[in-house]
Amino acid sequence: MVQDLTWHEICVLADLEDEGVYGVELGGLPIAVYDVDGEIFATHDICTHGLARLSEGFLDGDLIECPLHQGLFNVKTGAPAGAPCTEAVRTFPVKCEGEKIFVAITEDAA
């Protein structure tokens, strides 16, 4: 079943300029937003292995390194890409309108 998406403005492109990653909260849901070569992606901001904020990690290409145990996730797919992480991190649909970045949160993401 296809559901209509509700889009939420969460930040602007300038927020990503320094590190390429930015952490925000939307209704209590922590979200990390990434700029990968001009494409914007969003994942849940909490590592599935160590409960650390991914937005405080190091972004290298399309991989975010968790600051706690240096596990890796692909920010495009959410897939774990390096030990000790084995469980994917949730991803969110993203769209940009001008400088504004929006994410869609489906019911199963809350």
Nearest by Cα to 91 from 99, 102, 103: 103
What tens digit of pLDDT does each residue of 9-19 get? 999 999 999 89
> What are the residue ranges in the chain where pLDDT is below 70?
1-3, 107-110
Using a 10 angstrom Cβ sphere, with 0-12 exposed, 13-18 middle and 19 or more buried, the burial of residue 84 is middle
Q: Using CA atoms of 107, 108, 109, 110 in order, give the dihedral in degrees to the nearest 10.
A: 60
pLDDT at 106: 74
pLDDT at 9: 96
pLDDT at 109: 47
pLDDT at 107: 63
For the chain, the residue count is 110
Structural tokens at position 56: 């405080």
Q: Say what the pTM is.
A: 0.91
What tens digit of pLDDT does each residue of 18-39 get? 899 999 999 999 999 999 999 9
Tell me the domains of the chain and their CATH numbers. 7-109 (2.102.10.10)
